[in-house]
Each structure stands twice: as C-alpha cells, then as structure tokens.
Amino acid sequence: MLAFPNIDPVIVSYGPLAVRWYGLMYVLGFVAAYILVRRQARQVGWQQMLDHLDNLNLALIAGVILGGRLGYVLFYNLPYYLHHPAEIVATWQGGMSFHGGLLGTLFAGLLYCHFSKLNFWHVVDLYAVVGPIGLGLGRLGNFLNGELYGRTTEMPWGMIFPTGGPLPRHPSQLYEALLEGVLLFLILWPLRAKPWQKPPNHNWPHGSLLALFLILYGCFRFLIEFVREPDPQLGLLLFGLSMGQLLCSAMIGAGALLYIFRRYKQNTASH
C-alpha cells in the first residue's frame, strides 16, 4: 500500500483569501493552452486567430467555469441545489463537471466565433490537441485534494485517502491524469497539422481532431470509471453504470457523429 501524500490543499492564505493547488492547476492549464494555441496559429499563419486570441481565451475560461459548475449541478446533484440554490455559486466548496465544462467551452467558443467571424471548426482543432494538458493537471489537483478517489482495492498501490474510510482505494485521479492527460496529449499533439494539409493529403477535415478528442477521452474515462468511486448521492445508474459512464457514452457517440458529419461536408465541398 502506498502512503497518501499529506499535502495541504491550500498553498498560501491571507485572511479569507486562499490560493489552492486545485485552482493553480486550472491556471496552469489555461496558460499552457494559450501558449500552445498561439504557437499553432503562428505556424499555420492564421493572423485573424492571433488578433482574437486574448479575448477568445477569456470567453472560453468563462465557459469552462460556468459550464463546469452548472454541469455538476444538473448532472450530479440537482435535488440538493434545488433546495439550496444559494450554494450554486459556491465553487470553493467543490463540485465541477468535466462534461459540463466541455459543453460550456464549446458554447462560448461557438458564440465568440460567430460574432468575430472566426471559423469555429478551425478554432476547435487548435484547442482539442492541447485540452489534455488542462485535464491532466486538473486530475492532479483532485488527487492533492484527496477527492474523486477510486473504489476499494487490494492492489499494492492502493491508498488510504483522508475522507475515503479505512480501506485502501485506487488512486483513480492518477489513472485519469495519465490516460486523459499524458496519453491523450501524446496521441493528439502529433496530429495537429493534419487538418491544415492541402490536397491530396488533406484527409482530415477541420473538426476531426475535436471528434477524436471526444471519442478517446470518452473511452478512457469510461474504463477508469469502473475503478472510480461513484458519486454517493447517485451511486450506479442505468445498466449498473455511473453517471460519468453514461455521459461518456453520449460523448463517444457525439464524437463519431461529428467525424461522419465533417467528412460528409468535406466530400460535398470537394465535388
């Protein structure tokens, strides 16, 4: 059994203000996305994107936070928040949904691209390949907080989490950091130039990297959910699956449909 690193989730505090590891991971993820998206835009010579990058990132950050919180409220704990609506804004108490954050990001990006005359499908390709960095860092933040841990296990790398009872559990946050963060990035980043290739090598329509992200993340998360402790207020749902698995199933299907749609649009435009 491995010892859980007893790290204070608060890095530094001053009165009521506190800087937490989890929040820092969000900031690092946003900064990494900004740097790498700007690098890609420069490589493909997309000056319009560079001109809008600062404002676009602000819109996407707002989409992540609002969508993540509303997604948690709607998907994971709606009865509670219906009785305690004032706590919906209490994000410092925890409770963010990846799937909600993803929907919020896509919606914010779609609105910004519409009003700024940016090609939405070009934009999502730039961000899809760097998204795993933020995901991996976020899971490390979950681990340091001792939250979203796994189910009980007898494996030698099991850990006893501060709020997880006396039995060792899977450090499922680290599994997610490796699969959804490191591995997903290593798969997507080398493919970043594919949609920008010119015919006859242009077989990756814009939007296909987002489709691949949706499919691969959905598969990785679906598998890890088998060893992740279900949310206590929900437990296991339809067919013995967790809410995360049900949402990931929809995510995988959406990714497959998106790829088919973008290939159809590409083929139609080439004729």
Per-residue pLDDT tens over the stretch 21-34: 888 898 999 999 99
pLDDT tens-digit readout, 110-124? 999 999 999 999 999
pLDDT band at 4 (very low <50, low <70, confident <90, very high): confident
Write the CB contacts of 46 (distance below 8 Å, at least 6 apart in sequence): 122
pLDDT of residue 16: 74
CB 206 within 8 A of CB 239: no
**What does pLDDT average to over the chain?**
92
Write the CB contacts of 12 (distance below 8 Å, at least 6 apart in sequence): 18, 19
| Residue predicted with more confidence, 270 or 258 | 258
pLDDT of residue 8: 79
pLDDT of residue 183: 98
User: What is the sign of the dihedral through the CA atoms of 97, 21, 149 and 180?
Assistant: positive
pLDDT band at 200 (very low <50, low <70, confident <90, very high): low
My answer on whether omega of the bond before 200 falls inside 30° of 0, hence cis, is yes
| Residue predicted with more confidence, 239 or 3 | 239
Lowest mean pLDDT among 90-99, 105-114, 173-182, 253-262: 90-99
d(CA 25, CA 62): 16
d(CA 198, CA 8): 51
Residue in this structure with the two tokens 């979203």, named with its chain if needed: 148
Give the number of other Cβ atoms within 10 Å of residue 1's Cβ. 13
pLDDT tens-digit readout, 239-253? 999 999 999 999 999
Nearest to 246 by CA among 236, 258, 255: 236
pLDDT tens-digit readout, 50-95? 999 999 999 999 999 999 999 999 999 898 898 888 888 877 666 8
pLDDT of residue 90: 76
Average pLDDT over residues 156-182: 95
Element (H, E) at 247: helix 243-270
d(CA 158, CA 140): 16
- What secondary structure letter does DSSP report for 228? B
CB 158 within 8 A of CB 2: yes
Average pLDDT over residues 153-170: 93
**Radius of gyration over every alpha carbon of the chain, rounded to an integer in angstroms:** 20
Average pLDDT over residues 140-165: 92
| Residue predicted with more confidence, 6 or 103 | 103
